[in-house]
Amino acid sequence: MKRRVAVSLFATILLVAIVLLVAIGVTVSSKREPAPGDFSYWAQAVADKDWSVKAAQGDPEAQFCVGLMLVRTNLVKFINRIPLLSDVPVVGRRFKKIGYSIDNNIGQDQMAEAFTWIKKSADQSYSPAKEAEKLFVGRVAEPAGRTNLTHAEHETDARQFFHKP
């Protein structure tokens, strides 16, 4: 009798432990909000739809997407890591740094236009745009007089790059 109780108790504890491990695994592996500086994610998300109309209306996410769309083919991803340590499952991410840059093959007009859109978004405190602004430091001067465009000028700017006849 005592043996059956002990086996039942052990089986119950084992079952509870397995359920807890599965629950923890699902929680940890669930999809998280992308990091503001993860431009690989944002470059894929940008390609899915036309952001120009919303950007012209002043939506900060759309303005960021329009700016990123203009430079996404020129984004360069750098991965600095310590080979053996970065492969350790839990702590390995501390030994892996990912950075981005814009290559030199992009035209200054295109870069200035992208910066203008990203700057408008960052001015509205959109965190991915604040991270993207760092890509332009020292590469493009802030366009004078371009931050206070009217609604019609925003719309014309946005459509210029996405709806060419």
Predicted confidence at residue 117, as pLDDT, reads 94
DSSP state string for 85-120: GGGSTTTGGGGEEEEEEE-TTS-HHHHHHHHHHHHH
Burial 69-108 (b: 16+ CB within 10 A, else e): bbbbebbeeeeeeeeeebeeeeeeeeeeeeebebeeebee
C-alpha span between 150 and 58 (Å, rounded):
10
> Per-residue confidence at 81, pLDDT binned at 50, 70, 90?
confident
> Per-residue confidence at 143, pLDDT binned at 50, 70, 90?
low
Amino acid at 27: T
pLDDT tens digit sequence for 96-126: 888 898 988 888 899 999 999 999 999 999 9
pTM of the model: 0.64
Q: At what angle do helices 151-162 and 108-122 cross, to 10 degrees?
A: 130
C-alpha span between 154 and 156 (Å, rounded):
5
> Per-residue confidence at 62, pLDDT binned at 50, 70, 90?
very high
3-state secondary structure of 2: helix
3-state secondary structure of 132: helix
Angle at 133 between CA 112 and CA 145, to 5 degrees: 45
pLDDT tens digit sequence for 41-53: 888 888 878 888 9
Mean pLDDT across 53-67: 91
Tokens of 67: 């700016």
Q: Quick one: how far is CA 40 from the chain centroid?
A: 6
Predicted confidence at residue 35, as pLDDT, reads 77
Helix (H) or strand (E) holding 78: strand 75-81
> Per-residue confidence at 31, pLDDT binned at 50, 70, 90?
low
Res 148 pLDDT > 50? no
